Amino acid sequence: MTYTIKDVSEMTGLSIYTLRFYDKEGLLPFVSRTKSGIRAFTESDISQIKTICCLKNTGMQLKDIRLYIEYTMEGSGTIIPRKQLLTDHRQVIVDQINQLTENLKLVDAKLDVYNSPYAKDIINEQIRNVNEEKKENCLLSAYREVK
């Protein structure tokens, strides 16, 4: 049993356009064709595409994903560069998680202000300070006046 491009689109969430685009970009060299030129996806192809989605969803560029896929096509002789590539990318993912976690704190700090019963007063006070800072530097403030 093989799958059509439409099946794979439904299974992976990638549009048919995107799948053909990825193929054009050399990301799907493992996908075989029928005699008449129609793509025939196997189970193992789907699992490779899921790996591609994993790398893409963690921010790897398509040209780097292509490199990784090219290594996998070469078989067991390319284990060392593959390991290197994934180890580097692993660090990129960890850094992203850390940065998101940091930024989440900042968002939560803002939400704490907005959720405070004194939110209005705090914000008004902030604007007063900002306008004071502008005034000291002889600058017009674009913030709405605090009544």
Partner DNA sequence: CTAAAACCTAGAGTTATATCTAGGTCAAGC
Partner DNA sequence: GCTTGACCTAGATATAACTCTAGGTTTTAG
C-beta closer to DNA: residue 20 or 134: 20
Place of tokens 């209005």: 120
1, burial (CB in 10 Å: exposed 0-12, middle 13-18, buried 19+)? exposed
C-beta closer to DNA: residue 20 or 82: 20
Tokens, residue 67: 């490199």
Report the C-alpha gap between 94 and 75 in whole angstroms: 28
According to CB under 8 A, which one of 13, 37, 117, 144 is a site residue for a second copy?
144
- Which helix H or strand E contains 33, and what residues bound it? strand 32-33
For 39, other C-beta atoms within 10 Å of its C-beta total 18
According to CB under 8 A, which one of 4, 15, 18, 58 is a site residue for a second copy?
58
User: Does residue 133 interact with a second copy by CB under 8 A?
Assistant: yes
Question: Which parts of this chain interact with a second copy (CB under 8 A)?
Answer: 1-2, 29-30, 32-34, 40, 42-44, 51, 54, 57-58, 73-77, 79, 82-83, 86-87, 89-90, 93-94, 96-97, 99-101, 103-104, 106-108, 110-111, 114-115, 119-120, 123-124, 127, 129-130, 133-134, 137, 139-146
